[in-house]
A and B are shown apart, each in its own frame.
Chain A
Amino acid sequence: MARRATVALAVFLLGTGVAFSHAFLDHAEPRVGSTVKSPPSQVRAWFTQNLEPAFSTLEVVNERGERVDQGPAKADAANPALLQVLLKPLGPGTYRVKWRVLSVDTHITEGDFTFRVTREP
Chain B
Amino acid sequence: MRSRRISVIATTALLSMALWPDLASAHGLAGKRFFPTTLTIDDPFVSDELSLPTFLLFKTPSDGEAPSSKTANISGEFSKRIFPNLGLTLAGEWNNLDPAPNDRTESGFGNFEMTLKYQFFTSAAHETILSAAFGWEAGGTGRKKAGAESFDVFRPALLFGKGMGDLPDALRWLKPFAVTGIVEGVLPSRSGNKSFTLNDDGDLEVEIEKNPNVFHWGFAVMYSLPYLQSFVKDVGLPAVIRQLIPLVEIDINNPLDRGFAGKTTGTVNPGIIWAGKYFQLGLEAVVPINERTGKVIGVRGQIHFFIDDIFPNTLGKPLFTWH
Known: A22-B29, A32-B229, A108-B23. A15 touches B234 (CB 8 A): no
A13–B315 CB distance below 8 A: yes
Known: A13-B315, A108-B24. A20 touches B309 (CB 8 A): yes
Q: How large is the interface on B (under 10, 10 to 19, 20 to 34, 35 or more residues)?
A: 20 to 34
* Binary interface encoding of chain B residues 115-130 relative to chain A, with 1 for a CB under 8 A from any of its CBs, else 0: 0000000001000000
In the assembled complex, which residues on chain A have CB atoms less than 8 Å from the CB atom of B23?
Answer: 107-108
A12 to B315 CA separation, bound complex (whole angstroms)? 8
A111–B32 CB distance below 8 A: yes
In the complex, whether B313 has a CB less than 8 A from a CB of chain A is yes
Q: How far is the CB of B23 from chain A (nearest CB, A)?
A: 5
| Closest residue of B by beta carbon distance from A31 | B234
Please tell me which one of the listed residues A13, A21, A31 contacts residue B277 in the complex, with CB atoms under 8 A apart: A21
* Binary interface encoding of chain B residues 200-241 relative to chain A, with 1 for a CB under 8 A from any of its CBs, else 0: 000000000000000000000000001001111110000000
In the complex, whether A33 has a CB less than 8 A from a CB of chain B is yes
Please tell me which one of the listed residues B24, B169, B313 contacts residue A15 in the complex, with CB atoms under 8 A apart: B313
A11 to B311 CA separation, bound complex (whole angstroms)? 11
Residues of chain A at the chain B interface (Cβ within 8 Å):
12-16, 19-22, 24-28, 31-34, 48-49, 105-114
Q: Which 7 A-B pairs have the closest CB atoms?
A: A33-B233, A105-B312, A32-B234, A21-B277, A31-B234, A21-B309, A15-B314
Known: A14-B314, A112-B32. 8 other contacts (CB 8 A): A15-B312, A15-B314, A16-B313, A19-B311, A19-B312, A107-B26, A108-B23, A111-B230
